[in-house]
Amino acid sequence: MNPDILDSEVQHYIRQHLHEDAYKIAMAKSPFPTVSGQELAGQIVAKQKCLKKLPLWYERSFLYFPPVLSIEQCSSERTAIYKSRLALKGTLIDLTGGFGVDSFYFAKSCSSVTHCELNQELSEIAAHNAATLGQDNLTFFAGDGIAQLQNNTTHYDNIYIDPARRGTMGKVFMLKDCTPNVVENLSLLLSRAHRVILKTAPLLDLSSGLKELHHVAEIHIVSVRNECKELVWILEKKQPEALIISCITLNEEEKIFSFIKGEEELEARLLQGPVQEYLYEPDAALLKSGAFNLIGERYGLFKLQHQTQLYTSASAIPEFPGRRFKVRGFLSATTLKKEKNLKANVISRNYPDKAEQLVKKYKIKPDQLRFLIFTQTKDGGNVIIDTEIEQHY
């Protein structure tokens, strides 16, 4: 850390130049003898990255920002706040503290939090920011969190760990491919806390994770605007009787769809007849859960077809976690070809052509409300449904 970055004049400069080209600032001569142009640009770029992801950090002055990669890898405020609700009241140790966002919000619901971070400078940055933000029940350890557990006998109410993926090819990965190795240290973790909270990337397959782990009580699939952001695994010291899977959509309104593993193994409510008044597209968190048929059962919806994860009903269901469309009618490919200045958004589900191919083929320009849904129904085969969106993610 360069403490001179926290000087009031330097902080004023950063605020005044927050919307300017950071590259030009990096290349220009710095107005401050002890803070380089590159350091100024680094603080500006990192703070810019916080605008939507970490608004509290963006709005406050006299906070210190690490390299941008640390900002990109940390949790967002919304997901960190959600995770903080999963911790037991009492003590928590964060074994992979990083920039400190998760630790900060855990500290708001726990009596005390220990933040462990291998990178000493990042540990110092997190400590400074926590103090500046007035969170005084955090302590900071610059070192290996697993080693910290191994070298003392302290028992915690919660252990939180966010392992980083090591260099693996492709999108498929396993927990044993991450650092720290949770699988290898699972017995240690469960012996030192009542609850282990494990965050993983959403790419991790649920079945694969369950094969590597044991004592899993809950899996939380967290989504923001139809993008799965993270999986949160709750492991309990006592072997749980059942596994609860929760799909959480953090949009303007938070919605939660929970079920006990095994409930999803039921027959689909398949549509018998024409598509009804409303069409529903599940949020990515629900699709990740694999509860394709349970979705219809819970909300009284009919699936359009076995492999088509779209649903329909005669009445609007506002609590549905996903998008809702009002059906206007049906179109043929011939009609689309004849329509001039065609404007709509395109969704392709279980249809021979992808959305981008259809946009090009029919020369479709974007529209705010109209959606053309190219899909397949049980009785009608390939169809084009003309809709208007009523509920976004």
Q: Where are the domains of the chain?
A: 3-71, 75-241, 278-391
In terms of Cβ atoms closer than 10 Å to its own Cβ (0-12, 13-18, 19+), residue 23 is: exposed
pTM of the model: 0.93
When mean pLDDT is compared across 128-132, 169-173, 231-235, the lowest value belongs to: 169-173
C-beta of residue 53 within 8 angstroms of C-beta of residue 20: no
Copy the structure tokens of residue 12: 């004023």
Query: In which band, very low, low, confident or very high, does the pLDDT at 393 lie, cut at 50, 70 and 90?
Result: confident
* Predicted pLDDT at 169: 52
Cβ-based neighbours of 31, under 8 Å, separated by 6 or more: 13
Domain 3-71, CATH 3.40.50.12780 — does that match? no
pLDDT tens track for 184-243: 999 999 999 999 999 999 999 999 999 999 999 999 999 999 999 999 999 999 889 999
pLDDT tens track for 331-343: 999 999 998 899 9
Query: In which band, very low, low, confident or very high, does the pLDDT at 165 lie, cut at 50, 70 and 90?
Result: confident
Query: In which band, very low, low, confident or very high, does the pLDDT at 171 lie, cut at 50, 70 and 90?
Result: low
pLDDT tens track for 346-380: 999 999 999 999 999 999 999 999 999 999 998 87
Query: In which band, very low, low, confident or very high, does the pLDDT at 174 lie, cut at 50, 70 and 90?
Result: confident
Position with higher pLDDT, 319 vs 167: 319
Whose CA is closest to 359, among 345, 370, 338, 373? 345
* Predicted pLDDT at 355: 96
- Statement: residue 15 has pLDDT above 70: yes
Whose CA is closest to 277, among 159, 385, 392, 118? 385
Residue 63 backbone dihedrals phi, psi, to 5 degrees: -95, 150
When mean pLDDT is compared across 11-20, 130-139, 167-176, 272-281, the lowest value belongs to: 167-176
Query: In which band, very low, low, confident or very high, does the pLDDT at 328 lie, cut at 50, 70 and 90?
Result: very high
The CATH number of the domain covering residues in 75-241: 3.40.50.150
When mean pLDDT is compared across 153-157, 168-172, 252-256, 363-367, the lowest value belongs to: 168-172
